[in-house]
Homo-oligomer: A and B are copies of this chain.
């Protein structure tokens, strides 16, 4: 029977989406209840602290700012559910099956690498060809002096591509907009929202990203590649599908969240590796930025996935060098050639580099601030529907086109350096350092060389060494300001948009500008300055250290740069950390995803676990009436229910364990009922159901309570929950410090934690803590002025 003990609430995870979840209790002012009880307890003289009487429910809902309609959020089940089904499954696995499982897990990880490499390669070729065709068309018209026509073609191509990308995002998969790294980060923190990694999101992410980058936006395809990698891994890790008959014996072993988590980590790393051709950087990125729980075994597996990516890409690129890939040339995946050429630095050099770090940190923090503000504005527009999303995107596209086409007219033409051969300056083709734009023969337009190019080529131009006087200070300043502003404006439109490229572009131009201004007192190359500038901006916005450092090293292939890059990154991160959080953390928060931080909030130290459990607690008896179970499942959205062993099965009520909603549904579907209230035992269950039937389906695919069709007679029978009850749920005593409970919850990646009473003679469980109960905003709502202990 379902007991509403008026204390603690079980598994409130999908609460905001299921208003049915507050059936019994009417929310009462927490504070008043609290103090009332305090007095009672004090009178009873047994307890120092108020206990477990909150009738309020936990409503830390998604205050999503970006991507208006976030879907219902569930937590993932990373805890091993040690019930008889699990034990049966585990015992039934022979050595061969364990080997199959291991081998298949490896094969899948490598396959993810292969697929991600192919996708990365495809999107690169597509961008190179589409953007290349667009730029060729425009520059041909420019050469014929038909400037107006060129502008029309240019802006027409850009807006068409932008509108297509926005339409894909707005109508098919809204979750595909933006970088995707915050979503992957949240998923790996245990937050499941179906659309985050859905196949539709994957497709839109790939094509939307190609279209968006080709449209000449100031955005990159690196962030989206991470999301793509995670989506590919999630798709492959579904563990087969019953619907399509894909249920081989060995595929079913992956039908659990733990294996999926590992695979998706590999996918995210593969995405970075494919985007930057940086296999070690990919692993470190996954470790530093994306995952919340890391296992040593994962290091190895992730590493092999990225190794596959690196090898496949290398093979494909050498194939393309033969000219088989259209306009895809030496551009391709980013790879900059830059050498330090000097082994020692003077003290002045170091001082200049430190200055760069400080400025980069400041500008990076400012960038995060602006992005935050602009996203809040955009979210108001985006909420109005798909059409307004497309209009916003097109508007930004037009602004971008006007800037990139218009600004080069403001600069005068520069004569080509005399030492260069005629073919090299100006370059009339697709890529190269010197764009002629509107200039006469023998001259080039410096600003056009940066603007009128793909972003990859612009970065390559900025990073190129030994070209100290190619770009003047005014050119660089104009470019920097424009790119910085456009970068802020572009992020948040309904297009898959990575932040790496805008930040690198802005940072590189800023660094080169600093270099050309301070070149007289420092002996470093301006190309190196550009690299250090990019590093400082990356450190200032993303707050990553090791992974950005390794990615930059892998991009430039010169390890001698390491100490300088490290220095600049550390300074930039330290400076920026004084002002705000990293851009991805900021976005996770803005999207209202209940992300569990590593460190407990300071306010938690003055509270105990019993202080935050919210009611009503719904428990099931170990042998329960079918009707009660069904009713409980219908009434609530909870995912876990404490099971109480009651007389006659035990002398006194005691906690038997925790049962999951999905397992309850499978058991009910199997109709293993008895007329009398008696244990049926596990053997009876396994006569009808196999352990595999209890495996967790892909997100959004499991049984629902509406799918059950039970007769009136069946509703009056009893069901034995013992076989599916997790006998070893993690528990905390109600007077456990909340901070330490949070460490346990986060450290072991739990979804439910049972709170048990300290004193005897009370119900054996007094509440359940879930992710939402540890959210700082919820706790601060309960206790606006935390009471010191």
Flag whether A563 is at the interface (Cβ < 8 A): yes
User: Which of B562, B598, B760 makes the CB contact (< 8 A) with A760?
Assistant: B760
Nearest-neighbour CB distance to chain B for A621, whole angstroms, equals 17
Contact partners of A747 in chain B: CB under 8 A: 747-748
Residue of B whose beta carbon sits closest to that of A560: B557
Contact partners of A759 in chain B: CB under 8 A: 650-652, 654
Residue of B whose beta carbon sits closest to that of A311: B563
With known contacts A303-B545, A563-B311, A788–B91 Cβ distance under 8 A: yes
Most-contacted residue by chain B among A90, A311, A761 (CB, 10 A): A311
Among A388-396, A421-429, A518-526, A733-741, the stretch that binds chain B is A733-741
Most-contacted residue by chain B among A46, A307, A311, A553 (CB, 10 A): A307
- How many of these chains are in the complex? 2
Closest 4 CB pairs of A and B: A307-B566, A728-B737, A728-B736, A728-B740
User: Which of B297, B343, B566, B605 makes the CB contact (< 8 A) with A310?
Assistant: B566
Question: Number of A interface residues, CB 8 Å?
Answer: 73
Contact partners of A735 in chain B: CB under 8 A: 727-728
Interface membership of chain A positions 729-751, coded 1 if the CB is closer than 8 angstroms to chain B and 0 otherwise: 01111011101110110011000
Interface membership of chain A positions 271-312, coded 1 if the CB is closer than 8 angstroms to chain B and 0 otherwise: 000000001100100011000001111011001100100110
B563 close to A310 (CB less than 8 A):
yes
Contact partners of A567 in chain B: CB under 8 A: 307, 311
| CB interface residues, A 649-679, toward B, < 8 Å | 650-652, 654-655
Flag whether A550 is at the interface (Cβ < 8 A): yes
With known contacts A304-B570, A310-B562, A344-B318, A545–B299 Cβ distance under 8 A: yes
Interface membership of chain A positions 594-612, coded 1 if the CB is closer than 8 angstroms to chain B and 0 otherwise: 0000100000010010000
A740 close to B730 (CB less than 8 A):
yes
Most-contacted residue by chain B among A46, A280, A608, A741 (CB, 10 A): A280
Flag whether A554 is at the interface (Cβ < 8 A): yes
Contact partners of A20 in chain B: CB under 8 A: none
Contact partners of A343 in chain B: CB under 8 A: 314, 318
Contact partners of A546 in chain B: CB under 8 A: 280, 283, 299-300, 303
With known contacts A299-B546, A310-B566, A743-B748, A789–B87 Cβ distance under 8 A: yes
CA distance A549 to B303 in the complex (A): 10
Flag whether A758 is at the interface (Cβ < 8 A): yes
Contact partners of A608 in chain B: CB under 8 A: 728
19 additional A-B pairs beyond A280-B562, A307-B566, A654-B760, beta carbons within 8 Å, are A46-B650, A82-B737, A279-B563, A280-B553, A288-B299, A294-B294, A299-B546, A304-B570, A310-B562, A310-B566, A314-B563, A557-B558, A654-B758, A728-B736, A728-B741, A730-B732, A731-B732, A733-B756, A748-B748
Flag whether A517 is at the interface (Cβ < 8 A): no
A758 close to B655 (CB less than 8 A):
yes
7 A–B contacts, CB within 8 A, in A order: A288-B299, A300-B570, A300-B573, A307-B566, A557-B559, A654-B759, A655-B758
Flag whether A25 is at the interface (Cβ < 8 A): no
Residue of B whose beta carbon sits closest to that of A737: B728
Flag whether A683 is at the interface (Cβ < 8 A): no
CA distance A401 to B230 in the complex (A): 57
Flag whether A24 is at the interface (Cβ < 8 A): no
Interface membership of chain A positions 748-773, coded 1 if the CB is closer than 8 angstroms to chain B and 0 otherwise: 10000000101111000000000000
Contact partners of A651 in chain B: CB under 8 A: 46, 759
CA distance A90 to B735 in the complex (A): 19
CA distance A562 to B654 in the complex (A): 58
CA distance A297 to B598 in the complex (A): 10
Flag whether A441 is at the interface (Cβ < 8 A): no
Nearest-neighbour CB distance to chain B for A320, whole angstroms, equals 13
Flag whether A136 is at the interface (Cβ < 8 A): no
Flag whether A351 is at the interface (Cβ < 8 A): no
Flag whether A80 is at the interface (Cβ < 8 A): yes
Residue of B whose beta carbon sits closest to that of A558: B557
CA distance A744 to B550 in the complex (A): 34
Nearest-neighbour CB distance to chain B for A261, whole angstroms, equals 15
Contact partners of A557 in chain B: CB under 8 A: 558-560
